[in-house]
Structure 1
């Protein structure tokens, strides 16, 4: 499934760290939590930060593949996780369409699903999140980006206008 993304939302390492700590603050009052299940790969960094902030030492992973750069595809379970989810936090970076969240919540029906970012289509699958972004926004996470010059918006729009001119 390929969607058209109109907007980009770059997230720096500093911003991700602040947002993951904000998520931990929200989760602290809902605990205590016995363990964390990080949804790989995007949920691994936020899960590490949340685990540190909440002093959770047991961290597992559930491995689901559903993205390839900017294309979303059908989710594939690469490594499941077992249990009912009691006192377990599931941590991911984003609830986009909610497909991955639904799969993991079915695996661990009593777990609490938390993510940093949520889009309207996936928001209902997240029990807790920090920031909502529009469905047509692609989030550029720091592990997927590199520092480089980016032309001002006006220059990019002018160049796009030249490409479409007759």
Structure 2
């Protein structure tokens, strides 16, 4: 989906993501999880950071491909897991419309499901999130951005 359809933009830097994950971990530190299941691809980096903060060594993935443009609403499970999530922490970066979250929640109904960010449509599907954002907010994650040179203002005005 193009970011042109969104009214607000929320840019998440690497530092901000790390701070947000640590804040979420403060809410999880007293719990004892068998392991973490990351929802790929967005949940991979938050899951790695959470694994470090909570000292969890067992990490698995659920791999789902969504078709936004060609095939509206269809999800394809590329890799699942062989359990119901009991005692596991399920991690994603964001819950948006809830399509992916709903599918994964059905696969792992007993997992404790957390996201760093949540939009209203998908929020009821997760057990915890750190930051709620508006549905029309486009979240720009650091792994989708590159650092580029910006010409000084004085140079731009000379042209």
> 5 Å matches for 1:1-166?
4-29=5-30, 31-66=31-66, 73-148=73-148, 149=150
Query: Do 2:33 and 2:87's aligned partners in 1 also have CA atoms closer than 8 Å?
Result: yes
Question: Per-residue CA shift, 1:82-111, capped at 9, x if unaligned?
Answer: 201111000000010111111111111110
The count of corresponding residues between Structure 1 and Structure 2 is 147
Kindly tell me: are residues 67 and 145 of structure 1, through their superposed partners in 2, closer, same or farther at Cα, counting changes over 3 Å?
farther
Please state whether the residue corresponding to 1:46 is helix, strand or coil: helix
- Output the aligned Cα RMSD: 2.2
Runs of 4+ aligned residues of structure 1 deviating over 6 Å after TM superposition are none
Displacement of 1:7: 1.3
- Structure 2 length normalisation: TM-score? 0.85
Query: Do 1:114 and 1:127's aligned partners in 2 also have CA atoms closer than 8 Å?
Result: yes
Please state whether the residue corresponding to 1:22 is helix, strand or coil: helix
Question: Per-residue CA shift, 1:100-157, capped at 9, x if unaligned?
Answer: 11111111111011000000001101101000000001100000011244xxxxxxxx
Query: Do 2:39 and 2:90's aligned partners in 1 also have CA atoms closer than 8 Å?
Result: yes
Please state whether the residue corresponding to 2:15 is helix, strand or coil: helix
Which runs of 5 or more structure 1 residues have no equivalent in the other structure? 150-166
Which runs of 5 or more structure 2 residues have no equivalent in the other structure? 151-159
Please state whether the residue corresponding to 1:65 is helix, strand or coil: strand
Displacement of 1:68: 6.7
